[in-house]
């Protein structure tokens, strides 16, 4: 049976992918960044930590020698590179660190694979953020890129590095351009989980108000658990390629907020626009949502909407969970956690 290495295994996608591969019979090695206390709550939540075929390692992927040692010791068949500084907002405050972890580290892995075991299949987690100021709607694998944040610029470097190693050295380096994908395992820095967690706290009387940034931006939001299956399919395809994974539906932050309050059994009346927008809860008349400029980004992306026809035709993959269902399952899980006092 195959051995896979997943970098960034403690993140949302890493945990779901580890679960998926373990269920398929893989031996899975996962890395997390060097810290005293790795953030293992997702691995615990999915009951992965004690699995006999799962192994957790700390590794600094920004260090080339560490990458070489990792590849040499584990000698995996497949490497899924999910490690990144993945918060777009933070990337504006920490551009150098983001460039190192999200961009240059990918080159360390590719180079280590090229030198030590070029038969390894490599998956690069590319991102819809590459499209940034979108040139068409919906976007496909052929849409030109126009990154709009230090995060997206770093991802662009990583994306083209993978393709360059594919074309220059024949490495099986495949890129998944994934649109936003959410779940109860999303961290609360991301807007969907911030919303569902806060809505749960409001519903249970632990908070009064949800404070957000730009309500009018829209995203193509899918369910992360389905997207990791797409990653695995890309790696089993005959040739390394680039694939968009998306739902082909776009919704604004405001619409997602509405869905979340509805999932908790209440609804909102919106007033005002832009920075002056706010929302009142219909049944209580209480102020529930307001906008704060501090959550705005220096630069925003356009309408994110992806066309995943290529993945459907070549990999048999498509997104099946509707945004309403996704939001509902996130709110339900957050209600359960908040009620139990679970901190994450």
Pick 40 or 299: Cβ nearer ligand GDP: 299
Segment contacting ligand GDP (CB under 6 A): 4-12, 39-47, 189-197, 326-334?
A: 189-197
Q: Which residue in 171, 217, 231, 251 binds ligand GDP (CB under 6 A)?
A: 217
Q: Which residue in 64, 270, 295, 344 binds ligand GDP (CB under 6 A)?
A: 295
126 binds ligand GDP (CB under 6 A): no
Burial of 104: CB neighbours in 10 Å, binned 0-12, 13-18, 19+: middle
Q: What per-residue string of b and e applies to 40-57 under the rule 16 or more CB within 10 Å gives b? A: bebbebbebeebeebebb
Cα–Cα distance, 70 to 112 (Å, whole number): 9
Segment contacting ligand GDP (CB under 6 A): 115-123, 187-195, 306-314, 323-331?
A: 187-195
198 binds ligand GDP (CB under 6 A): no
Cα–Cα distance, 30 to 6 (Å, whole number): 5
Pick 135 or 292: Cβ nearer ligand GDP: 292
Pick 4 or 291: Cβ nearer ligand GDP: 291
Cα–Cα distance, 187 to 198 (Å, whole number): 13
Pick 113 or 263: Cβ nearer ligand GDP: 263
Strand partners, 307: none
Site string for ligand GDP, 234-273 (x = CB under 6 A): -------------------x--------------------
Strand partners, 199: none
190 binds ligand GDP (CB under 6 A): yes
Q: What per-residue string of b and e applies to 141-158 under the rule 16 or more CB within 10 Å gives b? A: bebebebbbbbbbbbbbb
Given strand 242-245, what is the order of strands in its sheet?
Answer: 54-58, 27-32, 3-7, 78-81, 121-127, 172-178, 242-245
Smallest separation, CB 83 to ligand GDP (Å): 16
Instruction: Identify whether the C-beta of residue 109 lies closer than 8 Å to the C-beta of residue 122.
Output: yes
Sign of the CA dihedral with 289 first, then 223, 50, and 55 last: negative
180 binds ligand GDP (CB under 6 A): yes
Report helix angle 150-169 to 105-116, nearest 10.
Answer: 20
Pick 32 or 194: Cβ nearer ligand GDP: 194
Binding to ligand GDP (CB under 6 A) within 9-68 occurs at: none
92 binds ligand GDP (CB under 6 A): no
88 binds ligand GDP (CB under 6 A): yes
Smallest separation, CB 169 to ligand GDP (Å): 31
Cα–Cα distance, 291 to 273 (Å, whole number): 10
* Interface with ligand GDP (CB under 6 A): 88-89, 180, 189-191, 194, 212-214, 217, 219, 253, 295, 297, 300
């Amino acid at each position: 049976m195959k051995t896979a290495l997943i970098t960034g295994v403690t993140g949302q996608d890493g945990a779901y992918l580890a679960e998926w591969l373990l269920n398929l019979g893989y031996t899975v090695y996962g890395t997390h960044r060097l810290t005293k206390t790795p953030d293992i709550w997702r691995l615990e939540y999915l009951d992965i930590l004690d699995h006999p075929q799962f192994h957790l390692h700390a590794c600094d992927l920004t260090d080339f020698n560490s990458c070489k040692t990792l590849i040499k010791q584990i000698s995996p068949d497949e490497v899924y590179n999910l490690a990144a500084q993945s918060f777009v907002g933070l990337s504006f405050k920490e551009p150098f660190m983001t460039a190192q972890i999200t961009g240059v580290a990918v080159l360390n892995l590719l180079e280590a694979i090229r030198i030590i075991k070029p038969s390894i299949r490599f998956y690069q987690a590319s991102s819809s953020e590459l499209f940034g100021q979108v040139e068409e709607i919906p976007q496909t694998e052929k849409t030109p890129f126009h990154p709009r944040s230090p995060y997206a610029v770093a991802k662009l470097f990583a994306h083209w590095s993978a393709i360059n190693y594919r074309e220059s050295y024949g490495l099986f380096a495949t890129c998944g351009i994934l649109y936003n994908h959410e779940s109860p395992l999303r961290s609360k820095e991301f807007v969907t989980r911030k919303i569902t967690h806060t809505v749960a706290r409001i519903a249970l009387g632990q908070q009064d108000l949800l404070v957000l940034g730009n309500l009018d931006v829209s995203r193509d939001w899918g369910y992360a658990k389905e997207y990791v299956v797409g990653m695995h399919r890309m790696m089993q395809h005959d040739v390394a390629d680039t694939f968009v994974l998306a739902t082909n539906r776009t919704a604004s932050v405001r619409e997602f907020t509405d869905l979340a309050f509805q999932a908790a059994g209440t609804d909102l009346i919106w007033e005002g626009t832009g920075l002056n927008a706010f929302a009142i809860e219909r049944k209580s008349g209480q102020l529930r949502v307001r906008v704060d400029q501090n959550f705005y980004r220096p630069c925003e992306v356009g309408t994110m909407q992806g066309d995943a026809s290529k993945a459907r035709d070549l990999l048999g993959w498509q997104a099946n969970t509707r945004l309403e269902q996704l939001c509902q399952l996130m709110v339900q899980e957050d209600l359960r956690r908040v009620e139990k006092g679970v901190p994450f």
